[in-house]
Structure 1
């Protein structure tokens, strides 16, 4: 069709809507051109080494293409070269294909843009530990800036899975166990990544839809058995909030199956629920290889054509990372009548609408010269430092061993993560990606080029280990000794003698232990790296014991991706610090906390089990959960966690008082105001994360004993007081009744305010009165918090 006012095709007219332009462009397309828009190619498939190959492009991109997979991440080029390569590919598509449709370029960006030279922020479980959505937004803004500079348009994040099984290796990529905390942090990420105008933003991709994190045995890709009410109220909640509150533009299916149906083939999940019930109107992309997985992993589809049909029918619009089932097999399926061509058209429309919404047709290119200027700026590094500092959790501090005295003395740094920069980074960091590529190349896998000139300085940002940071922190006059003691995950104890010797010489021993994260066999957590036990890997716990038994005051610092279940360490080590994988500024951040330059204020986003036998263990259990009738505990273990959800200590003390709950009673369609006083009664500046929990009594279904419904991180000078007020919409407390209708019912509401899920400082009760309310899709998800000074 032609726009008669301009004599150009409608799809070329930016004044027309994305929907109008997409429908018009579809009318010009052949079947092959349509199918090409539903898939992607790895960037290296059109390269000779790092040079663009017109010959390979002609074979792979002749009919156009929907997406290019990881121009930065799969070429390993520097920012300027990445931008140049993106422009070259777009120029080929715009100028050398019949319809001139640009590609949408996607990249990974879990805890930072996973490209060479990009900022490596703390892993997401650490970001969650800040309990500060504003920091998530600032991190996502940096990711957006760096990705846009090199020509990317879509990020395969955030992970919105609820992590209630620490055996699962990808727990570190999540915001933790709680749907409310995950939703608040996830919404902040999506809003900052996409912005209000996708022409200035990056498409966020919620993953993995749905229930991927709660599989049998905590195993990756294993089946999940989740009751419908729990699926909706717990696992669906962050995705629903991201759609309704942030306009999430893309969704990725999960690999596993639910009740016999692989998620990638579930029309109920990806169309009836996601689109029809949740109101999602964006693009559904497959997780990598998930469509062919229907054939060779789940044995659910007969062949690639059948897999393509099942996935399209379910609602997957785009196959990633490369052309496989959505290729010749799909074209053949349409031509033989095995696949309804309307399914193809439906997904092509969605792809094209997204490209028009992104402004790709008007602005397919980026400024190559400007690209390097937005990488690793001082402001970005400072943000990485701030997030790392605020992510650190003080789990225990017996006898106020921390912060350490700066007086001259001898410090022993011990442990396999004490002098490692690699092990401060999560599984979707760029250095971990390079390791995976090298491993796959050894196995004859991916052809991603690793430039021969690539150096460690290219792979890693400028980083300091914990040991290096401590040495710089104490300066002259103090002696800092080091002994690794053992490896991360081996049985070799030959280094124990040296570790014990340096511990005995020291005034204090800092034992830095934990994990190595990544996707290769030598890693102990991350994707593909599930565990059957939850203690420290290898002989690290034995190393800690050996150091403690020297009698030297000992601090344990965990650099890890899953919570450590070690009752012995919790009982016998006086000071324990949880730093997760703190990113490129992690070493200095840990030293800042150890020596008191920063007062730790992080809080656990997960419950820490005492042993794997307690799994799954989480605070928001039903009344009959978390105890065994008649006696409560296990025969051989308490049911209590090692550390509760929301726990985290400080170098100062906070006091809660003067709880006011209004109105009393409150209407089922009203708003409850919860007000109290918070005071810093210690001697240091510090942060407290105040947490609002509720319990519903009298509901028509059993409800959790506690549910997080609000939080706020508050910074207070010593001696200062503030009033904290939560405005809690009662419809935000809705749940599914016996008929699976979302409702708010009259009853009693217990309100709990505290420093953790187990450290409740203030409680009150209020009656909810009025009619039972049935809610539709639109509803409030969050409370709001206000802080005002009470000091003259």
Structure 2
């Protein structure tokens, strides 16, 4: 009797347990097999099958996505990294301590696009990247992360050049414009692509197609200068270098910016900040600024980023580009038939708290709208993705309230999914960490970057053929590493003891008076040397024959320095060794100015913000550059 009771107790309970497990299994989200051997997984969804057309895979995955998952895909934000590549939650340090970490973004907000600012060394970065892809793989649908970055290859102190010494180091975009070699430009893109690919960066938040027609604008170093045709030539080669003729698993998607051209800022004040005064077109050159973007479209740039500014009186309403339907839908989508991803610049929706200060959202022209209303206006304008924001809940709310349709959301999510499939992320997003350390910064890449730094130098003056210097001269140096200089000559401590001086200068700028520390880092304001700084430079030039090198991140105003210098060269991001190789003839300067150098600040103030080559009697003209053979 006891044995029978035990049997009757056991059998139905085992049956019930099996039934529960079966039902639970049927309703449990399946682990996505997209990163495994698909041929051994049995039945699979279409989106997991690389043999299916991308459009079919996109439709299959889209049909399985919840509204929350779709909304999460429409956001990309910056994250901070641990120095060892781990995902352990630690307090943030440094300039980007405010940034969130990746796992909560992926798990809680369903965000599948991230960008990085400060990054550790190659091995740690590659390790971290694999770690976040593992987090993404464990989500309901296993949608992989697309990792993005601002430029990391420029020898620069510019705030937008996220320099990492492990990557090969090249001049900024201006340097490539100075050389003007399309083949070199494409070679750079291909090398940078390989280094990005090695650490998992699959989207480049560059190049900049903006034109440097307003000399005071702080972002000129990221452009190809003021000439639209030169810029267009370089933009096309740049995008092709990163993406190839067709974007695939070996490519890095380019997000070309800032449509429809961010250069003509009134008084050069940048619209990252509330003191900006809008973009103006006194010369009626709006269409001139479109020419480089047309080249990007021809190269099939994967994404486009509009800028913050308000194109004053150019459209039916004076609102910033990211909110502007005339710019995004009528011009970009309809006129240019552009069907790639459009992503806003960072921070259009929410204010950013930085210590005791608040950095207002760049919602210029729509400041009075609520955050939710701003989101709706951006989407209604035709944009697909929000940069620097993490508020997918606002998109969800708008759909649930009937203010946006899910069908409209699907249009943008399709574009974003298509890019992920094109990049091969669904087939295998992981990277080989050891291989990454072999590729990033390898010798041939470094040498190519260093040679390009040297080629980009622009020789502006060479009185009496002072350059190249010969022999082991007694040299006095300023703003140059003396240990490096000692390899070229006998370094002396005073100008009086020198046969020749070699000094490095940077284009002047004036910090804006504000509590916003980011705004203080932008190179706004006048372009000329003033006061004691100018007097000290001129006094040195009077004491000893001097070679002056100046870093041009904007067009410097240097008439007196030019007049007194024995030789004058310009660089666009270069090491001390690169300069000294040029000065001593181990390398030859090949650069031509990518913009005019004005003769005075009065001339600068009289220029039209949207017009190129309009500086009256420039000190040096666009395209000017000497060589050692002449």
TM range (shorter): 0.7 to 0.9
Q: TM-score, normalised by structure 1?
A: 0.65
The 5 Å alignment of 1:406-425 reads 406=471, 408-414=472-478, 417-419=479-481
Aligned to 1:319: 386
Q: TM-score of the superposition, structure 2-length normalised? A: 0.81
**What is the aligned counterpart of 2:556 among 550, 556, 564?**
564
Q: Which residue is 1:302 aligned to?
A: 369
**What is the CA-CA distance between 1:392 and the residue it aligns to?**
0.4
Q: d(CA) in 2 for partners of 1:330 and 1:38? A: 9
1:205-244 equivalence runs, <5 A: 205-221=255-271, 222=276, 223-226=278-281, 230-232=285-287, 234-244=288-298
The correspondence for 1:347, drawn from 403, 412, 415, is 412
Which one has more relative contact order, counting CA pairs under 8 Å at least 6 apart? 2
Cα distance, 1:116 vs structure 2: 5.8
Q: Is the 8 A contact 2:305 2:344 kept in 1?
A: yes
> Which one of the candidate residues 40, 45, 53 is aligned to 2:76?
40
Task: Say if 1:291 and 1:311, in contact at 8 Å, map to a contact too.
Answer: no
- For the 8 Å contact 1:391–1:601, the answer to whether it is kept is yes
1:315-341 CA-to-partner distances (Å, cap 9, x unmatched) read: 2212223413xx112211111112232
Mapping 1:87-98, distance limit 5 Å: 87-94=130-137, 96-98=138-140
Q: Indicate which of 55, 62, 65 corresponds to 2:111.
A: 65
Which residue is equivalent to 1:277? 335
User: Does 2:617 match 1:640?
Assistant: yes
Equivalence for 1:599: 588
**Does the C-alpha gap of structure 1 residues 264 and 606 become closer, same or farther in structure 2, counting only changes over 3 Å?**
same
Distance change in 2, residues 1:322/1:117 (3 Å): farther
State the 4+ residue runs in structure 1 displaced beyond 6 angstroms: 516-527, 618-622
Q: Note if 1:256 corresponds to 2:295.
A: no
Q: How does 1:143-162 map to 2 (within 5 A)?
A: 143-162=192-211
Distance 1:396 1:598, change over 3 A: same
Aligned-residue offset at 1:294: 6.0
Closer/same/farther in 2, CA of residues 64 and 192 from structure 1, 3 Å limit: same
Distance 1:469 1:563 in 2: 28
Aligned-partner Cα distance in 1 for 2:45–2:369: 41
How far off is 1:309 after superposition?
0.6
Which residue of 609, 617, 627 maps to 1:650? 627
Contact 1:514 1:537 in 2 (8 A): no
The residue that corresponds to 2:485 in the other structure is 470
Deviates more, 1:7-16 or 1:294-303: 294-303
Q: Structure 1, residues 205-258: CA drift from partner, whole Å, max 9, x if none? A: 1111123111111000031122796222x21000111111x1111111101111
For structure 2, the 5+ residue unaligned runs are 1-41, 90-100, 155-161, 313-317, 351-359
Query: SS where residue 249 of structure 2 aligns?
Result: helix
Write out aligned runs for 1:68-87 (5 A): 68-70=114-116, 73-74=117-118, 76-87=119-130
Q: In structure 1, what is the equivalent of residue 215 of structure 2? A: 166
Q: Which has the higher helix share?
A: 2
How far residue 153 of structure 1 moved from its aligned partner, in angstroms, is 0.8
Residues 27-85 of structure 1: CA deviation (Å, up to 9, x unaligned): 1111111101111343339x799531599835752463230222xx34x2221221221
1:174 Cα deviation after fit: 0.8
| Alignment check: 8 A CA contact 1:107 1:152 kept | yes
Equivalent residue for 1:247? 300
Indicate the SS of the match to 1:198: coil
Structure with the largest fraction of strand: 1
* 8 A Cα contact 1:413 1:509, kept in partner: yes
Alpha-carbon offset, residue 418 of structure 1: 2.4
Alpha-carbon distance between aligned partners in 1 of 2:586 and 2:85, rounded to the nearest angstrom: 45
SS where residue 308 of structure 1 aligns? helix
> Which residue of structure 1 aligns with residue 32 of structure 2?
none
| Offset of residue 273 of structure 1 | 1.2
Cα separation, 2, equivalents of 1:470 and 1:123:
24
Alignment match, 1:664: none
Contact 2:366 2:374 in 1 (8 A): no
The answer to whether the 8 A contact 1:107-1:155 is kept is yes
Alignment of 1:481-560 (within 5 A): 481-482=492-493, 502-515=494-507, 529-536=522-529, 539-550=532-543, 552-560=544-552
Conserved? CA contact 1:516–1:525, under 8 Å? no
8 Å contact 2:218–2:523 — kept in the other structure? yes
Match for 1:368 among 394, 419, 433?
433
* 1:379 CA drift (Å): 1.0
Residue 52 of structure 1 is aligned with which of 59, 79, 87?
Answer: 87
Tell me if 1:108 matches 2:157: no
Distance 1:275 1:13 in 2: 31
> Which whole-Å deviations, capped at 9, do the CAs of 1:148-173 have from their partners, x for residues lacking one?
11111101010110001221111111
CA distance in 2, matches of 1:18, 1:601: 45
Return the alpha-carbon distance in structure 2 between the equivalents of residues 578 and 98 of structure 1. Answer: 54
What corresponds to 1:684 in structure 2? none
> What secondary structure sits across from 1:472 in the alignment?
coil
Asked if 1:184 is matched to 2:233, the reply is yes
Tell me if the contact between 1:294 and 1:307 (Cα under 8 Å) persists in the aligned partners.
no
- Whether the aligned pair in 1 keeps the contact of 2:328 and 2:381 (CA below 8 Å) is yes
Match of 1:726 in 2: none
Match of 1:8 among 33, 41, 44: 44
Note the aligned Cα RMSD (angstroms): 3.1
Match of 2:186 in 1: 137
1:680-691 equivalence runs, <5 A: none
